[in-house]
């Protein structure tokens, strides 16, 4: 597991500097100080490595934002927390952000494109739950336009920091975008994106993750991490899936225990949705 993470970390440095296409497996192995054989024990190909990087960072990004949206109790803080967490995450993972934006512009790899679209739809789902909570029925006819405006803010302002090296003031930016979003929500009168149009161009969402699939992920995570409070929490959550006996408060506490562990973010997200938190 350590070698796999090393390859991902070192490859990211090269990808950020040269791009996906210009970076060879030979360069990656040389940068890691490992043999090609060691590389292929961890990844079948460079494409598999790239997809693993996308999974790793998009899971970090989406689960952090989803957590803020679902745990912020005060509606007045919700939009600010959403934007602040978004740009703070872009800042922490700026190398990945740069190559992701560049490669989306020139990649013709269908698997790459479908994976990005799948995560994009998960992000839209988070934003939709947020705007419906904030604005209710008042935005029913314009909510899809509002979602695309918010996504535009996220993409365009992140590029300012990623490509122009502007000083990052996440607090000021979040406050500014809260004001802009509220203005749009209150004053859009001519929506372009209708519910019918959304259905026409939206790619089918990934199928809902089943209990059996979540159990499989938990089993894998239990094998990967050392003895710790996170591992104990995963074991209890597995038992809760198989035979529910714990109170909702205790389940929430167990999810809180695992949510920041790098191997557990995705399963924490899946479990939170499965249990309806």
Please say which residue of 201, 222, 245 terminates a domain: 201
Distances (CA, A) of 259 to 74, 218, 229, 233, 255: 21, 13, 12, 10, 6
Contact 121, 39 (CB under 8 A): no
Domain match, 69 and 187 both = yes
Q: Check whether residue 167 and residue 95 sit in a common domain.
A: yes
pTM for this structure? Answer: 0.76
Within this chain, do residues 75 and 110 fall inside the same structural domain, yes or no? Answer: yes
Q: In this structure, are 226 and 130 located in the same domain?
A: no
Residues 88 and 181 in one domain: yes
Contacts with 147 (C-beta within 8 Å, 6 or more apart), sequence order = 124, 127, 128, 131
Q: Are residues 191 and 222 in the same domain?
A: no
Res. 132: pLDDT tops 80: yes
Same domain for 87 and 167?
Answer: yes
> Are 81 and 125 within one domain?
yes
- Give the torsion sign (CA, 245, 248, 250, 253): positive
Does some domain include residue 253?
yes
Burial class (CB in 10 A: 0-12, 13-18, 19+), 273: middle
User: How does residue 202 score in pLDDT terms, banded at 50, 70 and 90?
Assistant: low
Q: Is the pLDDT of residue 204 over 60?
A: no
pLDDT attached to residue 1: 45
Neighbours of 91 (CB within 10 A): 14
State whether 121 and 189 are in the same domain.
yes
Which residues span the domain enclosing 26? 2-44
pLDDT tens per residue, range 135-162:
999 999 999 999 999 999 998 888 887 7
Domain count along the chain: 3
Is residue 91 domain-resident? yes
Q: Does residue 206 form part of some domain?
A: no
Between 196 and 164, whose confidence is greater? 164
54 and 34 together in one domain = no
Distances (CA, A) of 61 to 57, 76, 88, 154, 230: 6, 23, 10, 12, 20
Residue 259 and residue 177 in one domain: no
pLDDT band at residue 30, thresholds of 50, 70 and 90? very high
In a domain, 169, yes or no: yes
pLDDT digits (tens, 9 = 90+) for 61-109: 899 999 999 999 999 999 999 999 999 888 888 778 777 766 665 555 6
């Amino acid at each position: 597991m350590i070698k796999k993470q090393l390859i991902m970390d070192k490859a990211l440095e090269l990808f950020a500097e040269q791009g996906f296409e210009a970076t060879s497996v030979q360069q990656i192995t040389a940068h890691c100080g490992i043999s090609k054989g060691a590389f292929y024990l961890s990844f079948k190909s460079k494409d598999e490595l790239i997809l693993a990087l996308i999974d790793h960072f998009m899971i970090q990004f989406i689960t952090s934002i989803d957590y803020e949206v679902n745990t912020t109790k005060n509606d007045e803080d919700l939009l600010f927390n959403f934007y602040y967490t978004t740009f703070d995450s872009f800042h922490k993972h700026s190398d990945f952000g740069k190559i992701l934006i560049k490669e989306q512009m020139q990649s013709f790899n269908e698997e790459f494109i479908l994976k990005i679209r799948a995560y994009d739809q998960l992000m839209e789902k988070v934003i939709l739950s947020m705007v419906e909570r904030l604005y209710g029925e008042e935005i029913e006819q314009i909510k899809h336009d509002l979602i695309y405006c918010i996504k535009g803010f996220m993409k365009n302002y992140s590029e300012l920091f990623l490509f122009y090296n502007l000083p990052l003031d996440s607090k000021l930016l979040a406050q500014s975008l809260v004001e802009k979003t509220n203005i749009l929500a209150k004053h859009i009168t001519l929506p372009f994106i209708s519910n019918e149009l959304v259905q026409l161009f939206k790619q089918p969402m990934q199928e809902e993750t089943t209990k059996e699939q979540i159990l499989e992920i938990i089993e894998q995570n239990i094998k990967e991490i050392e003895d710790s409070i996170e591992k104990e929490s995963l074991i209890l959550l597995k038992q809760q899936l198989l035979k529910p006996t714990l109170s909702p408060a205790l389940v929430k506490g167990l999810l809180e225990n695992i949510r920041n562990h790098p191997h557990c973010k995705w399963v924490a997200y899946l479990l939170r949705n499965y249990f309806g938190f």
